[in-house]
């Protein structure tokens, strides 16, 4: 298990994860397929219906992996490392270590997903057409053709950060030659579309309730709209953060307050230190020398009943594996590195000595200060 979920394998060198929410949606989708196939009167027993439903559900999620792999292959073509692919409640997401450097790269990476879903829809449609009198194959292929076609159309909706929203950003980026401005425009468009989905979903849910019809369809649409609204806001916040950090170096955003702990203390004692200070990261020292980094994430990776018999040294990130930053490194460069390796904090080293630490909290404090200064009266 990792923060992304349960790793189930690698494809093209990219780790594939299942988020915990995937197991819920997998069961719901399998059940919906079973209900659909049962209504077709395929003359199948209950175990056979569930086998067909589970197989169709697996093929559907395989289609999602193919969709995300298409994004990833194009990204790797442009020398953009792909960190992972994660399947979760809304489908899938390919996490890349950095944003594309040109509008055409963004466009090609984004369009690869819907194009792959349309390709699969065509393949399943041809299989459906050639099924003949095989009602089971006809039901399976027809369902997957419709779902992949719907997936392609949905992802083409210009709501950032859907593929359509990224296509829209790429087009605006190409016209304006300004990545930050394009992201803000795409994020605002994504928020408008998200509000529209929430409103339409709420309306459908109310209409379904009054007519004793399907309420869940409207609620699900509203839920997806809420998810897109949150994602669009986060994207806007990220680009604003990039603008605020532009021109700064690591020494400008690091904290000189270096919380330290000894490597010999137990995780039970470390948990008390985290609760006492509210700090989620500590440098681990021995005889005055840095030996590693301990974080709340690593603490919670160990079962609580083992905390009193496990030392910090046993679970810390050791110094030889610890990424670090130089004070003169650009802040944006460090932010990209932290995102690519999934670190929430990183020490700053100069002349062989730790002179500071950069954490999410220290970055947020800098952003808040700059935002307050920018919004001060008279500026």
Whether 245 contacts 335, CB under 8 Å: yes
CA 25 vs. chain centroid, Å, equals 17
Percent of the residues in the chain that have a pLDDT greater than 70, as a whole number? 94
Among residues 66, 58, 49, the alpha carbon closest in space to that of 139 is found at 49
Which pLDDT score is estimated for 67? 93
Q: What tens digit of pLDDT does each residue of 161-209 get?
A: 789 999 999 999 999 999 888 988 988 888 999 899 899 989 988 888 7
Q: Above 70 in pLDDT, residue 358? A: yes
Q: Mean pLDDT throughout 221-249?
A: 80
Q: Above 80 in pLDDT, residue 109? A: yes
Instruction: Compute CA distances 71 → 64, 66, 151, 197, 342, whole Å.
Output: 11, 9, 15, 25, 20
Q: Mean pLDDT throughout 332-356?
A: 79
Q: Where are any strands of DSSP class E within 104-201?
A: none
Which pLDDT score is estimated for 371? 67
Which pLDDT score is estimated for 158? 85
Which pLDDT score is estimated for 146? 92
Decide if 372 is catalytic: no
Phi and psi at residue 26, in whole multiples of 5°? Answer: -60, -45
Percent of the residues in the chain that have a pLDDT greater than 90, as a whole number? 28
Which pLDDT band, with edges at 50, 70 and 90, does 269 fall under?
very high
Q: Mean pLDDT throughout 258-285?
A: 89
**What's the whole-number average pLDDT of the chain?**
85
- Evaluate if pTM is beyond 0.75: no
Which pLDDT score is estimated for 374? 59
Q: What tens digit of pLDDT does each residue of 113-171 get?
A: 999 999 999 999 999 999 888 888 888 899 899 999 998 998 898 888 789 999 999 99
Q: Sign of torsion, CA 225 229 234 240?
A: positive
Whether 75 contacts 94, CB under 8 Å: yes
Q: What tens digit of pLDDT does each residue of 240-259 get?
A: 777 777 788 998 888 887 78
Report strand pairing: 281-286 vs 260-262: parallel
Instruction: Compute CA distances 23 → 17, 86, 148, 257, whole Å.
Output: 12, 12, 20, 42
Cα dihedral 258, 262, 268, 272, rounded to 10, equals: -30
Which pLDDT band, with edges at 50, 70 and 90, does 1 fall under?
very low
Whether 137 contacts 127, CB under 8 Å: yes
Which pLDDT band, with edges at 50, 70 and 90, does 357 fall under?
confident
CA 177 vs. chain centroid, Å, equals 27
Q: Within 10 A of 335 (CB to CB), how many other CB atoms are there? A: 18
Which pLDDT score is estimated for 7? 83
| Cα–Cα distance, 145 to 89 (Å, whole number) | 21
Catalytic residue among 68, 273, 328, 329: 68
Lowest mean pLDDT among 43-52, 216-225, 369-378: 369-378
Which pLDDT score is estimated for 313? 93
Instruction: Compute CA distances 330 → 30, 253, 321, 351, whole Å.
Output: 49, 10, 22, 18
Question: 139 or 103: which carries more pLDDT confidence?
Answer: 103
């Amino acid at each position: 298990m990792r923060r992304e979920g349960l790793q189930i394998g690698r494809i093209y060198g990219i780790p594939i994860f299942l988020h915990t929410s995937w197991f819920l949606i997998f069961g719901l989708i399998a059940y919906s397929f079973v209900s659909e196939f049962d209504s077709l009167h395929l003359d199948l027993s209950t175990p056979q219906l569930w086998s067909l439903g589970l197989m169709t559900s697996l093929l559907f999620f395989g289609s999602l992996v193919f969709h995300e792999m298409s994004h990833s292959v194009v990204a790797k073509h442009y020398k953009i490392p792909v960190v992972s692919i994660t399947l979760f409640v809304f489908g899938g997401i390919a996490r890349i270590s950095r944003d594309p450097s040109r509008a055409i790269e963004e466009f090609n990476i984004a369009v690869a997903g819907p194009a792959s879903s349309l390709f699969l829809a065509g393949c399943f449609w041809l299989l459906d057409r050639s099924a003949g009198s095989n009602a089971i194959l006809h039901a399976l292929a027809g369902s997957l053709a419709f779902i992949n076609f719907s997936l392609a159309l949905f992802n083409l909706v210009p709501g950032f950060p859907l593929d359509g929203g990224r296509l829209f950003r790429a087009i605006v980026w190409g016209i304006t030659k300004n990545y930050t401005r394009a992201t803000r425009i795409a994020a605002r468009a994504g928020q408008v579309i998200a509000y529209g989905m929430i409103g339409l979903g709420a309306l459908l849910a109310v209409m379904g309730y009054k007519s004793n019809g399907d309420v869940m369809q409207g609620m699900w649409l509203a839920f997806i709209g809420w998810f897109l609204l949150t994602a669009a806001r986060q994207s806007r916040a990220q680009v604003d953060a990039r603008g605020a950090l532009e021109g700064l170096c690591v020494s400008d955003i690091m904290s000189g307050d270096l919380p330290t702990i000894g490597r010999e203390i137990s995780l039970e004692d470390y948990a008390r230190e985290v609760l006492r200070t509210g700090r989620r990261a500590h440098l681990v020292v021995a005889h005055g020398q840095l030996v590693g980094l301990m974080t709340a994430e690593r603490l919670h990776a160990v079962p609580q009943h083992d905390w009193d018999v496990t030392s910090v040294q046993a679970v810390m990130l050791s110094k030889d594996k610890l990424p670090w930053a130089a004070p003169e490194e650009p802040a944006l460069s460090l932010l990209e590195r932290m995102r690519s390796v999934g670190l929430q904090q990183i020490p700053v080293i100069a002349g062989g000595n730790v002179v500071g630490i950069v954490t999410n909290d220290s970055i947020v404090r800098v952003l808040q200060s700059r935002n307050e200064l920018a919004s001060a009266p008279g500026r």
